[in-house]
Structure 1
Amino acid sequence: MFKNYKVLYAEDDAGIRKNIGEILSLLFDDVLLAQDGEKAYELYQNESPDIMVLDIEMPYLNGLEVAEKIRKSNKNIPIVMATAYTDTAYFLKAVELNLTSYILKPIETSDLKKALKKCEEQLSYSKNSEIHINQSAYYNVGERTLYINNSEVRLTNIEMQFLEYMLKNPNRVINYSEFEYNIWEEGMSGPAIRTLVKDLRKHLTKESIQNIPKVGYKLVLQK
């Protein structure tokens, strides 16, 4: 599934690093290991991994600090954060940094695979020239154009950004704060987001953009 990608895993505990590294070696042909945040950032710069898995607490630079440095120049690389913390402040920072996923420690193999699957979906978005949303609608990534029954649909810039963010995170519930952090730096009210979704549903279907009450929205790609 992940053989064509290069993954970097950073963890300061040698035992955990060895164990998770062995699991990753079964999934990837190319695995990079780092013992601290400073080394992780150095490897990122020199080796250009496709996916980053970072422990949140490491010497020199912690996982969030590494992610923050990376995001200054790379908004798209999938980053997974491994954490033993459930503090809300950590999660808010994770949302701000547009992390693909987070997994709680001790890391379970099933949770790791689920997080990596999300990374693979995100990477696939940039490689696909067309993403089919349902039987009548697809999005041309290169053209940044939505087509319904093979006819071009004109979207506003904000509609396009919203749809593209959901296409990068298909079949996943995206909460309201995540939209605000990653699309609108100045923020956007709940009613404004609902209006935006209502306008997009005029082109798509209610089944394609599903509302999860009091949480957010999910784009369901229908085969």
Structure 2
Amino acid sequence: MVYNESSSIVKNLKEIAYDMKLLLVEDDSDLRVQLKIFLGRFFGCIHTAENGIEALKMYKEESYDLVLTDLTMPLMGGLELAEKIRMQNSEQNILILSGHSESDKLITLINLGIDGFLLKPVDLSRVLTQLNKSAQAIYDHKMFDYFSTTLEETNQELRKSNAELHKALAEIKRMKQSEPLNMPHEQLSGRELNDDEKMMLYTRSEKMSAAEFHSVHPFELDKTNEDLEILEDNFNVLLVSAERNINQETLSVLSRIVHSYAKELEMIPQFSALSYGIQQLATTFDSIEDVSKIPSIMPMLTSLFDNLEQWRRGIFFYRNVEDIHYMDNSLISDALSLQGMLSNQHHTSSDSDIELF
């Protein structure tokens, strides 16, 4: 893939900023909406304001991890807003959006300790780089505070747990010494089920939790998780790179991503139906000759990949879902609906502008 560097930034930003709160201040309504949609792929919560006065009122009512503000706005500009925010919280992370003609204000902003600058017109690749840098600094600071605060509590819990563990081990030893030799299989103590037995348990059950699923073949699933995550990141990078232009190369890359996703799932028998649904969508992409059809289905395709990421995290990363098939029908339906839309457009053309936001 030619997007390795951007893919790494996208992946890191999604991992560290998903629970951060961002205040976006921009008087240009079109740019404000576009930035909110774009940044919403990374930040869990985004509040917007159209001038400094509105933003300052919101800031007094809520706390934010990061403030991204335009420099020139009516009523109150970004410079005055940054000064007032610094008076309330000298540690607040602030990024400034500014035009080249506003360089006379940059010295004042630097003296205020502004964390970074983004020049207009907005270049999304540079926005990603600066946001990743700022979000990483915020994340590192949070982690430092967290570990510093909880270190003593952890030590106390460890001391308590050690005492309880010694007591429990003594009780287990006593019980084993008095345990009968002929016990039912499900009551066997101290023996792990082998992989064949675990798989037999799965085939006898309509449902299987993610934890049970991983206990059968953990190493293969870890590799699958990594490969699927890379494909999701590549799709997100493709969205950024195709913001203003979707061409035949874009369609080719998109087709490879969807084909590869289906191929990864094909290796896991439990997800053969889901793999088939995604493979059908990928095959439809191969038959498209007119790229002007793609922008109209991009919102649905983006939603599909967002849902696939949620599905992957629940099963392969967090391993906290009670049924590994809980999203199968929904994902298959989304993939086949997209396939149907593309098929219906097979003999039509679109003259709409190519725009992702």
User: Which TM-score band (shorter chain)?
Assistant: 0.5 to 0.7
Q: CA deviation at 1:109?
A: 1.2
Q: Provide the rounded CA distance (Å) in 1 between the counterparts of 2:148 and 2:92.
A: 17
Q: As a proportion of its length, which structure holds more strand?
A: 1
Q: CA deviation at 1:47?
A: 2.0
Partner of 1:96: 111
Contact 1:100 1:118 (8 Å CA) reproduced: no
CA separation of 1:29 and 1:127: change in aligned 2, threshold 3 A: closer
1:30 aligned residue (45, 58, 79): 45
Q: Are 2:81 and 1:66 aligned?
A: yes
Larger Cα Rg: Structure 1 or Structure 2? 2
Question: Whose helix fraction is larger, Structure 1's or Structure 2's?
Answer: 2
Structure 1 residue runs of 4+, over 4 Å off? none
Alignment partner, residue 153 of structure 1: none
For residue 88 of structure 1, report the CA deviation from its aligned partner. Answer: 4.2
Alpha-carbon shift at residue 73 of structure 1 (Å) = 2.1
In structure 2, what is the Cα distance between the partners aligned to 1:70 and 1:8? 12
Deviations 1:78-133 (A, max 9, x none): 10000013554322012111111001011111111122122213213422339xxx
CA RMSD of aligned residues (A): 2.0
Query: Structure 2-normalised TM-score?
Result: 0.35
Match of 1:56 in 2: 71
* Length-normalised TM-score, structure 1: 0.55
* Amino acid corresponding to residue 115 of structure 1 in structure 2: Q
After superposition, the Cα gap between the structure-2 partners of 1:129 and 1:53, relative to the gap in structure 1 and judged at 3 Å, is closer
CA–CA separation in structure 1 for the residues paired with 2:118 and 2:62? 24
1:129/1:36 CA distance change after superposition, 3 Å = closer
Identity of aligned residues (%): 27
AA at the equivalent of 1:76: E
Q: Secondary structure at the match of 2:40?
A: helix
Q: Letter of the aligned partner of 1:25 in structure 2?
A: G
SS in 2 for 1:28: coil
Q: Structure 2, unaligned stretches of length 5 or more?
A: 1-13, 150-357
Q: Equivalences for 1:94-133 in 2 at 5 Å? A: 94-129=109-144
CA distance in 1, matches of 2:134, 2:58: 19
Aligned length: 133
Distance 2:108 2:126 in 1: 21
Q: Secondary structure at the match of 1:119?
A: helix
